[in-house]
Amino acid sequence: MSIVTEIRRVTVPEIKAHKNAKPVVCLTCYHAHTARLLDSHVDLMLVGDSLGMVMHGMENTLGVTLDMMITHGKAVMRGSKHALVVVDMPFGSYEESPQIAFRNASRVIQETGCTAVKMEGGARIAETIHYLTQRGIPVMGHIGLTPQMIQIFGGFKTQGRTEAEWPALEADAKAVADAGAFAVVLEGMAEPLAAKITKQIVIPTVGIGASVECDGQILVMEDMLGLNPNPPKFVRQYANLGPEIEKAVKAYAADVRDRRFPGTENVYAMKRVN
Ligand code: KIV
């Protein structure tokens, strides 16, 4: 029996219970300090592979590795004790076969201690979702604008703009739900289609640039805090921390250059006393 008693995280069944109920609050998170700040306000934190772009300055998510996801996953787990933490499976770590996906996903679960993994794709990865969930790994799906397919899409393009595209995306949503995913992200999806899918499937949908009708919403935290100079158009900014950080750094630089640095006097004074 575990001796860890002070940590009581949101569970997979609790996230599933948000279907047609109170919206599920989700944000991305990549590091320990921000995990601590978000923890009591969100139901779910996603260690998204968007960290490749946000934290590491990559052009897209394709260069993100399993080791990077595990490093950031561990940090978010250390900084939190309430929200359910989901770690993204990066490009190349799950597409080949259900067996390889299981091996890599079990590494993520064992090494980070997170609850679940997320993987992109609909019908084409349904067999893998089934394989993992049958073996104890909760999976969050992700359909619509799936950034790991950016080279096929030819850019970050909203999916389902024409009704002709809808049946395939509806089939993807159903396949993911039938395979056992506990929730599914609908990213960059035409509003009426996202609303329609939300009504059709039995698991919660989590929208990002999709529809207010989804069962929950997720944003990239740095986008909503004003740290990304070019956020996607749909993002509502709740703070503008970029200029605040610049202002603080400018004040610090001026203090250092003018030898106005009171903190150090105290340190030296203490040393002298000791
Ligand atoms: O990687 C990520 O941050 C994501 C969200 C945008 C859903 O997948």
The number of beta carbons lying within 10 Å of the beta carbon of residue 30 is 25
Q: How far apart are CA 66 and CA 57, in angstroms?
A: 17
Amino acid in the structure at residue 53: M
- Partner residues linked to 134 by β-bridges: none
Mean pLDDT score, 200-210? 98
**Which class would CATH give 12-239?**
alpha beta
C-alpha 99 – ligand 1 centre gap (Å): 24
Q: Per residue in 248-271, pLDDT tens?
A: 999 999 999 999 976 666 665 655
Mean pLDDT score, 170-198? 98
pLDDT of residue 2: 61
Mutate which of 44, 50, 55 to test ligand 1's pocket (most atoms within 8 Å of Cβ)?
50
Is residue 4 over pLDDT 80? no
Provide residues with CB under 6 Å of ligand 1: 28, 46, 48-50, 88, 142, 185, 187, 208, 218, 220
**Per-residue confidence at 274, pLDDT binned at 50, 70, 90?**
very low
Give the residue with greater pLDDT, 268 vs 52: 52
pLDDT of residue 6: 75
Domain residue extents for the chain: 12-239, 241-274
| Percent over 70 (pLDDT), the chain | 93
Catalytic residue among 59, 96, 165, 187: 187
DSSP state, 232?
A: -
Q: How far apart are CA 7 and CA 80, in angstroms?
A: 9
C-alpha 146 – ligand 1 centre gap (Å): 9
Which pair of tokens denotes residue 65? 């590795």
Listed in sequence order, the residues at least 6 apart from 147 whose beta carbon sits closer than 8 Å to its beta carbon are 49, 50, 60, 61, 120, 156, 187
Q: Per residue in 77-135, pLDDT tens?
A: 999 999 999 999 999 999 999 999 999 999 999 999 999 999 999 999 999 999 999 99
Mutate which of 25, 26, 28 to test ligand 1's pocket (most atoms within 8 Å of Cβ)?
28
| Percent over 90 (pLDDT), the chain | 91
Give the residue with greater pLDDT, 271 vs 183: 183
What's CA 248's distance to the chain center, in Å?
28
Active site (annotated) includes residue 187:
yes
pLDDT of residue 261: 76
pLDDT of residue 1: 57
Burial of 152 per CB tally in 10 Å (0-12, 13-18, 19+): exposed
pLDDT of residue 5: 61
C-alpha 111 – ligand 1 centre gap (Å): 21
Nearest residue CA, atom 3 of ligand 1? Answer: 48
Nearest residue CA, atom 1 of ligand 1? Answer: 48
Q: How far apart are CA 15 and CA 274, in angstroms?
A: 54
Instruction: Report the C-alpha dihedral over residues 193, 199, 203, 205, rounded to 10 degrees.
Output: 40
pLDDT of residue 269: 60
Beta-strand relationship, 24-28 and 216-219: parallel
Nearest residue CA, atom 4 of ligand 1? Answer: 48
Nearest residue CA, atom 5 of ligand 1? Answer: 48
| C-alpha distance from residue 50 to each of 88, 123, 253 (Å) | 9, 23, 31
pTM: 0.94
Q: Per residue in 26-43, pLDDT tens?
A: 999 999 999 999 999 999
Listed in sequence order, the residues at least 6 apart from 62 whose beta carbon sits closer than 8 Å to its beta carbon are 52, 91, 148, 150, 151
